[in-house]
Chain A
């Protein structure tokens, strides 16, 4: 299951990409793709207010707003999206800005190679999954650390109340020595 948002001012590019992403017989296949397309980046931003996507693919040169600015605003709204920029021209400055500002994951030049584009989408999906998983694990570690801290405090309290209670003394043959 992968949700994709594609933005390009050229409708034919959008339908070609939609065909490509939905066609499982052109390998690699994208599992269960949900595809939304916009020719207007502004409308796409409005739509993003109430929808979540995994990957956003944007053209670089568009009349309303360039792809780097668009993806930078997508990042503000949904930092976890994987962002890909596509361009028909190799505008070095624009690409540098896109990388630094919009934190894009991939740059794809037009015309693209079908398998390469799909591989790139799968790759950023995997990358994003890893990031999310990483964060999940980090959260888990943090919450477990909380538990540990709580247990430690309890131990200290018990020790204060009855010193030696939390300590166990072992004999050489593995027995436990009890006071008194």
Chain B
């Protein structure tokens, strides 16, 4: 069946007042509405304005626009109308019936003159309205081959009926209208997309920041792990030559003492020798040219300075090796942190006593499960650092306490503080601001790694010129999944 066939519709090609639709001013006005719609004005309003403009243009009594709902193929919604009772706008039209339904389904315009029922169109149950139709036109609104709805105009009985020519003119105009509406829809969609994109963007930025954070942590721990591995491999190579060089220095020093002792004895013996034996003249000449006292003192210094250098190498290798170890392999026990702090203080008290007063604010702490020797090393590092940061006289305050899940020990100094640009690097291996020979740059990174292997964490607050506060936090109950098993990959790698 082809209901749009000319024979099925009553076409009156006689009287028509189509003059106005060719009016350029009218087309230009329509274009303006379209422009408004494309720029995102309220779609309902624009649609209504466009409809009224078209109704005027076609010298019609009334008109209406129905649009296919998004996501359906044939569900029509009344989008605009000129003489409709309020509340009918946005109401659904029955599917597949009525002029709208027919036009949308076929995609072909329809001209109705006279009794609509006689057109053979599949009309609605209530035929009241159609029966009184004097003359009407209905066009599909099509964009890019897709029907998005339909537009209809009705002419009053006082006016001549529409003609086939009017229908064709209208087709061109509704093409434009469809485009305008599509533009508007696209505009709305674009707005929505932009909104979506910006929220997506914000989410991505957040995720990105998290990823960056995680990546930094991975890089940091990989750096530590690779240094630990390298250290374990290199330790053997360095320790062997270190061993014999150190031991040889000891032997050399012992030999030198003997030699000088012997020399002293000879010199003393020679002075007592009367008369001076001529055979010793060469020896006496050499002795007069030589500053024996200087040689004696300087060779002792050479030995002790070389020894100090080698011991420093030994300490660096030891520190490096601590990376690969940490708390994983040693026996944990329940430890009174105050006792640990006090015993560490005893060791460093001599170093600190001329620089800082030590103030202890001990809270009430339960025993904490840890490797005491390792933790003492952390406290030692923090206390020595605190002492070194103080120029002249200052105070080191040790405060302890307990939160819900953690015991904490904070060591605060009134020293020089840490500049903001160094904050990110203080736990990096080999990062040091101390003069050459005073720090290996490993103290804090080893401490950090020890605390981490205890399942704890360490944080720092610092203000340049005011001082720094390092806080070590240790879990009250060891979370074996994080603290112990986290070591597994490390150990396998090593």
Q: Does B433 contact A (CB under 8 A)?
A: no
Ordered by A's residue number, 16 sampled pairs between the chains whose C-beta atoms are within 8 Å are A13-B240, A15-B244, A16-B245, A16-B248, A17-B244, A20-B247, A23-B251, A23-B255, A26-B254, A88-B238, A88-B239, A88-B243, A110-B242, A111-B243, A111-B314, A114-B246
Closest chain B residue, CB of each to CB of A22: B251
Residue from B244, B251, B254, B255 in contact with A10 in the complex, judged by beta carbons closer than 8 Å: B244
**Is B422 positioned at the interface, with any CB of A under 8 Å from its CB?**
no
Residues of A within 8 A of B (CB): 10, 12-13, 15-17, 19-20, 23, 25-26, 61, 88-90, 92, 109-112, 114
Residues from 216 to 233 in B contacting A, C-beta threshold 8 Å: 232
Inter-chain contact B248/A110, CB cutoff 8 Å: no
Most buried by A among B244, B251, B254, B325: B244
The answer for the CA separation of A17 and B250 in the assembled complex, in Å, is 11
Contact B247 A88 (CB under 8 A): no
Q: How far is the CA of A110 from the CA of B240 in the complex (A)?
A: 7
B287 at the interface (CB under 8 A from A): no
Given A25-B258, A111-B242, does the pair A16, B236 have CB atoms closer than 8 Å? no
Q: Are B250 and A20 interface neighbours, CB within 8 A?
A: yes
Q: Which 7 A-B pairs have the closest CB atoms?
A: A88-B239, A16-B244, A111-B243, A110-B243, A16-B247, A19-B251, A89-B236
Instruction: Point out the residues of chain B lying under 8 angstroms from A26, CB to CB.
Output: 250-251, 254
With A89-B232, A89-B236, A92-B329 as contacts: A111 and B246 at CB distance below 8 Å: yes
- B243 / chain A contacts, CB cutoff of 8 Å: 13, 16, 88, 110-112
Q: For residue B250, which residues in chain A have a CB less than 8 angstroms away from its CB?
A: 20, 26, 114
Contacts of A10 in B (CB 8 A): 240-241, 244
Is B461 located at the chain interface by the 8 A CB criterion?
no
**Closest B residue by C-beta to A90:** B321
A26→B254 CA distance, assembly (Å):
7
**In contact, A25 and B257 (Cβ under 8 angstroms):** yes
Given contacts A88-B239, A110-B240, 19 further A-B contacts (CB under 8 A): A12-B244, A13-B244, A16-B244, A16-B245, A16-B251, A20-B247, A26-B254, A88-B236, A89-B236, A90-B321, A92-B329, A109-B239, A111-B239, A111-B242, A111-B247, A111-B310, A114-B246, A114-B247, A114-B250
- Shortest distance in angstroms between B414's beta carbon and chain A's nearest beta carbon? 38
Measured CB to CB, the nearest residue on chain B to A60 is B236
- Nearest-neighbour CB distance to chain B for A110, whole angstroms, equals 4
Contacts of B242 in A (CB 8 A): 110-111
Identity of the chain B residue whose Cβ is nearest the Cβ of A108 in the assembled complex: B243
Residues of A within 8 A of B310 (CB): 111
Query: Taking the complex as formed, is B235 at the interface, i.e. its CB lies under 8 A from any CB of chain A?
Result: yes
Highest count of chain B CB atoms <10 Å: which of A23, A61, A89, A109: A89
Give CA–CA (A15, B314) in the complex, Å: 20
B314: nearest chain-A partner, CB-CB: A111
Q: Nearest-CB distance from A59 to chain B (Å)?
A: 8
Q: CA–CA, A114 to B257, complex, Å?
A: 17
A61/B236 in contact, CB under 8 A: yes
**How distant is the Cα of A114 from the Cα of B310 in the complex, in angstroms?**
14
A133 to B37, CA, bound (A): 111
A90 to chain B, nearest CB (A): 7
| Minimum CB distance partner of B233 in chain A | A89
Shortest CB-to-CB span from A175 to chain B, Å, is 71
Q: A23 to B257: give the CA distance in the assembly, Å.
A: 12
Q: With A and B bound together, what is the CA distance between A12 and B247 in angstroms?
A: 10
Q: How far is the CA of A90 from the CA of B235 in the complex (A)?
A: 9
**When the two chains form their complex, are residues A88 and B251 in contact, meaning their CB atoms are under 8 A apart?**
no
Complex CA gap A88/B244 in Å reads 11
Q: Which residues of A contact B258 (CB under 8 A)?
A: 25
Q: How far is the CA of A15 from the CA of B257 in the complex (A)?
A: 20
Closest B residue by C-beta to A59: B240
Q: Verify B329–A20 contact, CB threshold 8 A.
A: no
In the bound complex, CA of A12 to CA of B249 (Å) = 13
User: What is the bound-complex CA distance between A26 and B236, given in angstroms?
Assistant: 26
Cβ of B228 to closest chain A Cβ, rounded Å = 12
Contacts of B321 in A (CB 8 A): 90
Residues in A neighbouring B325, C-beta threshold 8 A: 90
Contacts of A92 on B, CB cut-off 8 Å?
Answer: 329
* Chain B residues positioned under 8 Å from A61 (CB to CB): 236
Interface positions of B from 303 to 318, Cβ below 8 Å from A:
310, 314
In the assembled complex, the CB of B483 is this many whole angstroms from the nearest CB of chain A, namely 19
A30–chain B nearest beta-carbon distance, Å: 14
The smallest C-beta distance from B257 to any residue of chain A, in angstroms, reads 7
Bound-state CA distance A5–B446 (Å) is: 38
Enumerate chain A residues within 8 angstroms of B239, measured Cβ to Cβ: 88-89, 109-111
Produce 1/0 per residue, B286-329, CB < 8 A to A.
00000000000000000000000010001000000100010001
Q: Which residues in B have their C-beta under 8 angstroms from that of A20? A: 247, 250-251
Given A25-B254, A25-B258, A110-B242, the answer on whether A17 and B247 have CB atoms closer than 8 Å is yes
Whole-angstrom CA separation of A72 from B438 in the bound complex:
44
